[in-house]
Amino acid sequence: MPRAVVLLSGGLDSYTAGAMARAEGFTLDALSILYGQRHALELEAARRVAHALGVERHLELPLDLRAIGGSSLTSDLPVPEGRDLSTAEIPSTYVPARNTIFLSLALGWAEVLGATDLVIGVNALDYSGYPDCRPEFVEAFERLANVATRAGVEGARFRIHTPLITMSKADIIRTGLSLGLDYGLTHSCYNPTPVGRACGRCDSCVLRAKGFAEAGVPDPALAR
Amino acid sequence: MPRAVVLLSGGLDSYTAGAMARAEGFTLDALSILYGQRHALELEAARRVAHALGVERHLELPLDLRAIGGSSLTSDLPVPEGRDLSTAEIPSTYVPARNTIFLSLALGWAEVLGATDLVIGVNALDYSGYPDCRPEFVEAFERLANVATRAGVEGARFRIHTPLITMSKADIIRTGLSLGLDYGLTHSCYNPTPVGRACGRCDSCVLRAKGFAEAGVPDPALAR
């Protein structure tokens, strides 16, 4: 079975993306980055999700992006609440170059593991407008991966899988439920609320709540 | 004066690249990564070089790539010695995705600093054949940077400066000397030799020695 490296945050998107790749026949290895995020508790959820996905390896890599800052997720800036998600404005929760950094690390690890498939749960529909969640970013990274690596030079063809990129949050949830996923394992809130709980006001909580409402099912993380 | 982020290893290439950018009129900030390299002593040289370049900030970021491995620079694999540098073979000192990872971190930091210029001392002539030192890699990263970031989306245009990319090692050294650089500050050896000293047998030592010989000057790091 081909092997894929999935970036796993502990949220519902990366869990679903991983499950979709597994359903396609990939053996999974999971990479989670402890980047100094204020909601570092999500790593506990990532461990549960990695276990539920039956990943072969789960690498938790520390990389303290607070040294770089520039985001309310990695500094003392307040996380915006009750934001109008229909605006084009990129909120302060944007972490400069985060998905570029994370995919780079996944690429390096994949090369060591002999894998050419990377999975990332980015979404460009029900999202916060982050530039590194859009198809043009993913395409540019895929092109880069093939010239950046020994494997690429030797003829391997890296693929960045973004199964959620054009899905609504409700469709993501419906798909995950059809694959038997337990979203009670996940954590989405940007604030350092207890794992599996939610502030209900940050972008991540609002998008998640909207998704469950539109899917017509209760959020099992909140039902606890 | 425009601001540029220079990736600084402590070796002579990044020192020269930084000095060339400074001579072009850039104010410099330097980024060095403590990545678990066996020659971590190079960080001491990076500090000296950063000081000599008069950088405004020098960020030393820990990111332990030994967790990923796959390279003789980040594992117990022996560093090859006395290699034939004319072969196309990529040696075990290749660190998977290293320059992709390092440029990603420089990109994130540049965005926070309001800089759009990154400087990296890669060279595709007197080098070890690493894929992420070639022009096609640099072009692909530059394209990526502009779609990956808030600054790029808002109209900024990132540039990756690679002033050494087509220079011979001798030309790099001649250029640096003409700019008044003290290469006695630098450290190039891949082995954990004392700072400023050299094993004389790894690729990095061989290329450096060849450069000084062709430039017709003694290596001040060895003259001590």
Interface of B with A in 65-94 (CB under 8 A): 65, 67-70, 90, 94
Complete DSSP assignment for A173-192: HHHHHHTT--GGG----SS-
Q: Measure in Å the smallest separation between the Cα of B221 and chain A Cα atoms.
A: 32
* List of chain A residues whose C-beta atoms are within 8 Å of the C-beta of residue B62: 64
Q: Does position A220 have pLDDT exceeding 70, yes or no?
A: yes
Q: Does position A195 have pLDDT exceeding 70, yes or no?
A: no
Which residues have a Cβ under 8 Å from the Cβ of A39 and sit 6 or more positions away?
A73, A187, A189, A190, A191, A192, A193
pLDDT tens digits for range A204-213? 999 999 999 9
Q: Which domains, from first to last, does chain B contain?
A: 3-223 (3.40.50.620)
Q: Quick one: pLDDT band at residue B16, thresholds 50, 70, 90? A: very high
Contact assignment for B108 to A98 by CB distance below 8 Å: yes
Prediction ipTM score: 0.96
Tell me what the mean pLDDT of segment B62-78 comes to: 95
Residue that the structure tokens 């490296």 belong to: A5
Q: Does position A199 have pLDDT exceeding 70, yes or no?
A: yes
pLDDT tens digits for range A86-109? 888 999 999 999 999 999 999 999
A20 close to A175: Cβ distance less than 8 angstroms? yes
Tell me what the mean pLDDT of segment B197-220 comes to: 93
Q: Which amino acid is at B168?
A: S
Nearest-CA residue of chain A relative to B105?
A101
Contact assignment for A111 to B96 by CB distance below 8 Å: yes
pLDDT at A146: 97
B85 close to B16: Cβ distance less than 8 angstroms? no
Q: Does position B102 have pLDDT exceeding 80, yes or no?
A: yes
Residue that the structure tokens 């609320």 belong to: A193
Helix (H, G, I), strand (E, B) or coil at A144: helix
Q: What are the beta bridge partners of residue B161? A: B119
Query: A-B interface: how many C-beta pairs under 8 angstroms?
Result: 136
Tell me what the mean pLDDT of segment B108-120 comes to: 98
pLDDT tens digits for range B34-44? 999 988 899 99
Q: Following CA atoms A46, A50, A51, A54 in sequence, which dihedral angle do they give, to the nearest 10 degrees?
A: 170
pLDDT tens digits for range A124-178? 998 999 999 999 999 999 999 999 999 999 999 999 999 999 999 999 999 999 9
